[in-house]
Amino acid sequence: MSVVDLGTPPPRPAGLLDALPRRVTLTLPELRLVAERAGGAPLPFDEVSDDPAGAPTLEGRLGATRSSTDAALRAAALASLPDPGTSLSRRGLLVGPPGDGVVDEGLLGAVGLLATPTLALDLDVAVAGAQARAWHRRSGDAVAALSTSDGLVFELAWFPTTAWAGEVARVAVLPEDLPLRDSDVPDLDLPYELADAGAEAVRTHRADLLPVLVAQHAGEVVTPDGDPVPDAEAAAALGALAEEAQGRVRALVADVSGRDTTVVGVVAWTLLADGWRSLTPVADDDGLRVRVRRVEPDRLAAELAPVIALVETGRPA
């Protein structure tokens, strides 16, 4: 059995520059080489095959369905990338002959941390047809993050936990060219059953059923202050919640410290016409409800904080 040399995690920051995140862009072949030099450290995503005849690498994790032509184009793109040892050497990230040189210590430590965390945060972001995945792994006071939007080029970053909130917020920043407009969805609370049925009605082109669904839950759609929303306004908001959706953020937190029971927690946002809304499940005496609130990207870390705390204490979030 081979021994995985995971290197030494970055030390605690001694000053301002040490506390800043360090980021390096790596192609998939470069990332594989670094992982190999780290003693064969496993990467946080499933790699299947680069063969166009097989399932493309990252296909399941990125959630896309590609034709054989797309797979062939991807394989051609991979083949066109430079030799990873040579390209890392040119960038000063590998010292010595490309075949057996020494990889930058920071890269080795970051990939090692990706392989042996105590807490895992997986982020799946989709905006207007584009999709990206990010894997954040924490151990002690250090965090390593790996992200990609195409499975070919990755950003590898490592930083102290004091910088984690800012790195999480980067994931939810919207493209500058994304057109936004006023939304018909105010902040509100509604029964989960109603939200689910309303989304299904819109998906199946039966928006005419929305007033009927709202009438079945009369007075149960309320403002943040607890005031009932008129049925007509509630039906319009319920329809807009499904019709305006043009993206999502899904964050999955898991305890991977090796305890017998793996505890997980989830945070979900939806992208509407004017920006993000958080969708927070809340249990009360009447059952499960959904709290819909306007949020900015820098709010994502704040919503994740209590979920992480619950996961670390062994309680499902």
Query: Is pLDDT of 316 > 90?
Result: no
Distances (CA, A) of 196 to 164, 193, 204, 278: 33, 5, 12, 15
Lowest average pLDDT, out of 42-46, 54-58, 206-210, goes to 54-58
d(CA 297, CA 5): 36
| Tally of CB atoms within 10 A around 257 | 13
- Residue 9, amino acid: P
Residue 119 near residue 137, CB atoms below 8 Å: yes
How far does CA 53 lie from the centroid of its chain?
A: 29
The tokens for 169 are: 């917020």
pLDDT in tens, 209-266: 999 999 999 999 999 999 999 999 999 999 999 999 999 999 999 999 876 556 789 9
Query: Is pLDDT of 97 > 80?
Result: no
d(CA 21, CA 144): 9
| Beta-bridge mates of residue 24 | 156
d(CA 49, CA 108): 24
pLDDT in tens, 161-204: 999 999 999 999 999 999 999 999 999 999 999 999 999 999 99
**In 3D, which of 154, 134, 143, 169 has the Cα closest to residue 20?**
143
| Tally of CB atoms within 10 A around 228 | 13
Confidence of residue 5 (pLDDT cuts 50, 70, 90): very low
**In 3D, which of 186, 176, 288 has the Cα closest to residue 244?**
186
pTM for the model: 0.84
Query: Is pLDDT of 54 > 80?
Result: no
- Residue 13's contacts (CB-CB under 8 Å, 6 or more residues apart) are 19, 160, 162
DSSP assignment string, 253-281:
EEE-S--SS--EEEEEEEEETTEEEEEEE
**In 3D, which of 72, 94, 77 has the Cα closest to residue 85?**
94
Query: Is pLDDT of 48 > 90?
Result: no
pLDDT in tens, 264-275: 899 999 999 999
User: What is the SS3 assignment for 197?
Assistant: helix
d(CA 279, CA 244): 14
- Residue 168, amino acid: V
| Tally of CB atoms within 10 A around 178 | 13
Confidence of residue 57 (pLDDT cuts 50, 70, 90): low
- Residue 101, amino acid: G
Residue 187 near residue 207, CB atoms below 8 Å: no
Q: What percent of the chain has pLDDT over 70?
A: 84
